[in-house]
Amino acid sequence: MRNDPLLSIKGLRVEFPTQDGPLVAVNNVDLDVARGEVLGIVGESGSGKTVLGLSAMGLIDRPGRLTAGQVVFDGQDVTKYSESGWRNIRGNRIAMIFQDPTTSLNPVQQIGAQMIEALQSHRDISRDNARQIIRNAMVRVGINSPDERLNAYPHQFSGGMRQRVVIAIALLNEPDLIIADEPTTALDVTIQAQILRDMRRLSRDTRTSLVWVTHDLGVVAQIAQRVAVMYAGRIVENGPTEKILKSPCHPYTEGLIASMPANALPGERLHSIPGGLPQLSKLPAGCSFAPRCNYAASACNMSPKLIQISSDHAVRCVSPLDGGS
Amino acid sequence: MEHVIELRSVERSFVTEPDFADRVASMFGAKSNAKTLRAVDGIDLTIGPSEVVGLVGESGCGKSTLGRIVAGILPQDKGDVLFNGRMLADKTKLKDGSGLGIQMIFQNPASALDPRQKIGDAIAEAPVAHGLTQRSGARKFALSALQRVGLGEDALDRFPHEFSGGQRQRICIARALAVDPRVVVCDEAVASLDVSIQAQIINLFLDLKQELNLSYLFISHDISVIEHVADRVAVMYLGQIVEIGATRELLENPQHPYTKALLAEVPTLDKNLSEEHALKGELPSPLNPPSGCRFHTRCPVATATCRLERPALEHWKCDHQVRCHVVTAGKQNSGC
């Protein structure tokens, strides 16, 4: 087994020009995804987690652009790839699952045809062989009697089934990496739980790496071995899921966990992080979380660096919390 | 205890619109094949003074339809809705303000506000129309409503797009409370908000309940939110309440197999989802609900009786009712 990371993001910066100057959606992000690992990326809306996921797929559209950094996938710097270079990897070695399955499927094409297209655009394969692979993929995500389903159109599926079809398409070419952007947010808890189980089993059985972008810490706890917490375009904490959820070292992570209704006594006031997310085009100088932070001090006027507090745990804070206290 | 809201066997159905082919066919005398969807099917529910009743269920179970009926913006087909012991007339046809005592807050604050109306005007519009304040005093009135939800004077002349999602939801709350309601129906009112903002809004709801003795019907798919705010919880499945009881009792001691499965599937920080699916299959189409107990197609303990006979909502304990043959079989009504 190889030990180099499958995906390695180094100093990545993604900017969108606006009237008020450049909006830095992803700001100097370093992130590694090991082979077979499930990494959760957590953040609130506007934290840059989706843009980070898209940049690993080469899907940042103009006027947005990567202004610094590298995305190294399996030893190759893919930021330099041309569109045709990307086409060889996208959907083949890296697959993506989006939040809303209704918009990621073609409404006027049968499911089977959409799946065959995904296969044949990367491999020279006969229709019969393709059908066999498709059947297997559908069974793997829990769609029984796939043959009847292949001729159906997306609107004939329920929301949960549609998302399974999308996941099955992502699996077709046996990618090394799947980037899933809030794939269960639009679904009911019962369906969400089924998909979490399926994906957990899949990544274990096939050693597919998984990047799971979500705002829900409960979901991360169920699926991810490691978690990166994003705030205002930066990673503020990165480490093993269990460690971070039990004893967070960044005040923002601590605040997020404490805000969850499940972590408070019923009827009591919830812990809430004061204020709102800063505008990305008007970030405060120094630590972007300082204006909302209970522990903020004068040292927070300087931009904090990501400090390694143990071999597998890093935090971007000048005075990290003493985890566990 | 006097109930603020009482629902008696409330029902509401929707009939599918005939499409073009159906209309042509019916011109030639074909039988209409319009389908009826019973969104709310025989609901009895009470809400007491300053009580929070939580309503949970999967999408399509009828919880939003029920919320709209309680708020009076959707008429029921059958059954009665009583507000303070008086029958609530069809508010959608009345403009006399008799339904002002019940207000509703929606999931998406961006679409609940008129993008071209200033915040101050949006809040004062209903109170002025109903004579709760003079037009000359409207500005002051709107300001006091805004201050109640933690916003200031500078908000009065701004437009909805100038606010963040959390602030917009505060504005919607201020607008709902401006007419001095007794009951507020919250339909997924915190679902679209980020965790840190969601906590602020939940705190605001709890503070306002204390301050103004409000009752809430709190609709949410998020059981942890319901657990936090509700005094009693009702679980809905395909248009019916399948279990209802005091929050703690119901969540710690769920009896209905559906409630058990629903609780088992909530991802939390401290427990691991089991490898086995707690629920098999998908929600059956509400256009064609299963016979007998509506849950029998997915139920791990279903018997032959469940396929044939519809169970009734029966007492399990004094503060806990369950709609299940298996649970209530052999158990005497405990005298409640």
Instruction: Identify the CA nearest to A154 among candidates A115, A183, A127, A118.
Output: A115
Supply the pLDDT for residue B329.
81
Share of chain A above pLDDT 70, in %: 98
Average pLDDT over residues B128-132: 89
Q: Which of A163-172, A240-249, B86-95, B244-253 has the weakest average pLDDT?
A: B86-95
Helices (H), chain B: 20-27, 63-71, 109-112, 119-129, 138-148, 165-177, 195-212, 223-229, 247-252, 257-264, 304-308, 325-328
pLDDT tens digits for A191-243?
889 889 988 988 888 889 999 999 999 999 999 999 999 999 999 999 999 99
Instruction: Identify the CA nearest to A105 among candidates A58, A47, A190, A163.
Output: A163
User: At B332, is the pLDDT very low, low, confident or very high (cuts 50, 70, 90)?
Assistant: low
Residue A141 corresponds to which amino acid? V
CA separation for the pair A101, B197 (Å, rounded): 27
CA separation for the pair A309, A244 (Å, rounded): 12
Q: Is the model's pLDDT at B1 over the cut of 70? A: no
Indicate whether A242 belongs to any domain. Answer: yes
At what angle are helices B119-129 and B165-177 packed, to 10 degrees?
Answer: 20
DSSP line for A86-116: HHHHBTTTEEEE-S-HHHHS-TTS-HHHHHH
ipTM rounded to 2 decimals: 0.83
**Token pair of B214, please?**
């409000």
Which residue from B164, B199, B275 is facing A270, i.e. has the nearest CB?
Answer: B199
Same domain, yes or no: A212 and A323: yes
Supply the pLDDT for residue B335.
59
Average pLDDT over residues A254-270: 88
Using a CB–CB cutoff of 8 Å, tell me whether A160 touches chain B.
Answer: yes
Instruction: Identify the CA nearest to B181 among candidates B84, B94, B100, B91.
Output: B100
Share of chain B above pLDDT 70, in %: 95
Indicate whether A226 belongs to any domain. Answer: yes
Beta-sheet strand order (sheet of B36-47): B36-47, B5-15, B78-83, B86-87
Same domain, yes or no: A32 and A154: no
Same domain, yes or no: A82 and A218: yes
Domain that holds residue A120: 102-172
Q: Do B269 and A158 touch (CB under 8 A)?
A: no
In total, chain B counts a number of residues equal to 336
Q: Indicate the burial class of A279 (C-beta count within 10 angstroms; 0-12, 13-18, 19 or more).
A: middle
pLDDT: which is higher, B72 or B158: B158
Same domain, yes or no: A228 and A311: yes
Do A184 and A191 form a contact (C-beta atoms < 8 A)? Answer: yes
Same domain, yes or no: A233 and A277: yes
Share of chain B above pLDDT 90, in %: 60
At what angle are helices A111-120 and A127-140 packed, to 10 degrees?
Answer: 110
Q: Is the model's pLDDT at A264 over the cut of 90? A: no
Indicate whether A202 belongs to any domain. Answer: no
pLDDT tens digits for A29-66?
999 999 999 999 999 888 999 999 999 999 998 899 99
Indicate whether A199 belongs to any domain. Answer: no
Which chain B residues have any C-beta within 8 angstroms of a chain A C-beta? 58-59, 164-167, 194-200, 202-203, 206-207, 221-225, 227-229, 247-248, 261-262, 264-270, 272-273, 275, 277-279, 282-283
Indicate whether A247 belongs to any domain. Answer: yes
CA distance, residue B96 to nearest chain A CA (Å): 36
Indicate whether A323 belongs to any domain. Answer: yes
Do A198 and A163 form a contact (C-beta atoms < 8 A)? Answer: no
Same domain, yes or no: A146 and A81: no
Supply the pLDDT for residue B95.
60
Tell me which DSSP letter residue A121 carries. T
pLDDT tens digits for A134-146?
998 888 887 878 8
Supply the pLDDT for residue B94.
54
Q: Do B267 and A245 touch (CB under 8 A)?
A: no
Spatial CB neighbours of A99, under 8 Å, sequence gap ≥ 6? A181, A182, A183, A185, A186
Supply the pLDDT for residue B97.
66
Same domain, yes or no: A30 and A68: yes
CATH number at residue A251: 3.40.50.300
Same domain, yes or no: A7 and A27: yes
- Run of H or E residues at A288: none
Average pLDDT over residues B250-268: 93
Q: Is the model's pLDDT at A6 over the cut of 90? A: yes
CA separation for the pair B324, B295 (Å, rounded): 9
**Number of compact structural domains in chain A:** 2
Which residue from A45, A190, A196 is facing B261, i.e. has the nearest CB?
Answer: A190
Indicate whether A157 belongs to any domain. Answer: yes
**Token pair of B183, please?**
């009951």
| For A201, nearest residue in chain B (alpha carbons) | B275
Which chain B residues are Cβ-neighbours of A271 within 8 angstroms?
199
Supply the pLDDT for residue A324.
45
Instruction: Return contacts of B207-212, CB within 8 angstroms, 24+ apart.
Output: B207/A269, B208/B148, B208/B149, B208/B173, B208/B177, B209/B50, B209/B52, B212/B177
Tokens 């709801």, located at residue: B205
CA separation for the pair A236, A245 (Å, rounded): 14
Do A50 and A256 form a contact (C-beta atoms < 8 A)? Answer: no
SS3 A305: coil
Same domain, yes or no: A220 and A146: no
Same domain, yes or no: A282 and A241: yes
Indicate whether A88 belongs to any domain. Answer: yes
Same domain, yes or no: A217 and A316: yes
Do B3 and B47 form a contact (C-beta atoms < 8 A)? Answer: yes
**Which of A122, A145, A172 finishes a domain?**
A172
- Mean pLDDT rounded to a whole number for chain A: 90
User: At A1, is the pLDDT very low, low, confident or very high (cuts 50, 70, 90)?
Assistant: low
Supply the pLDDT for residue A325.
42
Average pLDDT over residues B156-162: 93
pLDDT tens digits for B185-211?
999 999 888 888 899 999 999 999 999
Same domain, yes or no: A181 and A314: yes
SS3 A313: strand
SS3 B63: helix
CA distance, residue A260 to nearest chain B CA (Å): 7
Q: Counting runs of H as helices and runs of E as strands, what totals does chain B give?
A: 12, 12
CA separation for the pair B284, B60 (Å, rounded): 10
**Which of A172, A199, A234 finishes a domain?**
A172
